[in-house]
Amino acid sequence: MRSEMIEANGLAFHCLTMGDRDAPLMLMLHGFPEYCGAWEEMMPRLAGDFFCVAPDQRGYGQSAKPEGVAAYTGGKLAADSAAMIAHYRPGGAAAAVFGHDWGASVAYALAMRAPQLVERLIIANGVHPIPFQRAMAAGGDQSAASQYIEWLRAEGSEDPLAEDALAQMETLFGATMDMSWLTPERRARYLEAWSRPGAMRAMVNWYRATPLKVARPGHPIAPADLPPMPPAAMRIAMPHLLLWGEADSALRPESRDGLAELCDDLTVVDIPGADHWILHQRPDAVTAEVRRFMGI
């Protein structure tokens, strides 16, 4: 793996890259609360066929951390990825954009806003905003699982996360999940990424910037009170693979209900024995499905 700094969308970004720079580009987008190291199992498995690029997204790791909640809206995050593709493939497109968790949200936004830049879309335990908002607003299982979002949105939430050597951040990271993959060496790298100046607030600002609403359990939000989401403008036109760790406690199965109606060409693969951290827990199974989807 190579570590490099690039300029994209007017900001400095740190990226890990691996593979032949002339091979088809695969842009890999991590989620919360990870960083580019989230892809350290996947990159060696895919770099024989792709030029893999895994950035620290804005606010994370060694990348720029602009101030203010408005700096973390979906449009700006998608524009970052578009600029990264333009940096590595001027005038071209990514053979695949591969997103997990919040990285999936950015990948979906890019696929909607600039489909010409995304030949294929791969999502691992991530959600399209329309079915996710529907599920979070219903007051049921997904609403209950998403209550942490409201806590993170509160002003100053980053302060207790950073206390006691980031103990509460670690608790949030591993709550109800299998964290056996988090070796002491890997844990140290996560702590280093979280400890960078401004990182904790910037990471949480992603949650503050989203317009999505979370219902209290048992108290659904009326559709008229939800942000507008026109399906025609949010359709996924390119071939799309969704990989799903079946034991995910943060994203419930209902959060993907109706996804097929929003896609022209959707493949869904459920992977047993994995939860939200599927990329770490089942990298060989994920790789096999990605290679099959990419036709290699």
Query: Residue 175: pLDDT band by 50, 70, 90 thresholds?
Result: confident
Map out the domains of the chain as residue ranges: 2-294
Residue 89: HSE in the Cβ half-sphere, 13 Å Cα cutoff: 23
DSSP summary character for residue 296: -
CA quadruple 58, 90, 296, 265: dihedral, nearest 10? 70
Best CA proximity match to 12, nearest among 105, 74, 80: 80
CATH of domain 2-294: 3.40.50.1820
pLDDT in tens, 229-261: 999 999 999 999 999 999 999 999 999 999 999
Give the chain's mean pLDDT: 97
22, 117 Cβ separation under 8 angstroms: no
Q: For the residues 67-90, what does the mean pLDDT come to?
A: 98
Q: For the residues 190-207, what does the mean pLDDT come to?
A: 97
pLDDT in tens, 199-234: 999 999 999 999 999 999 999 999 999 999 999 999
Res 165: pLDDT: 75
The phi and psi torsions of 82 (rounded to 5 degrees) equal -60, -40
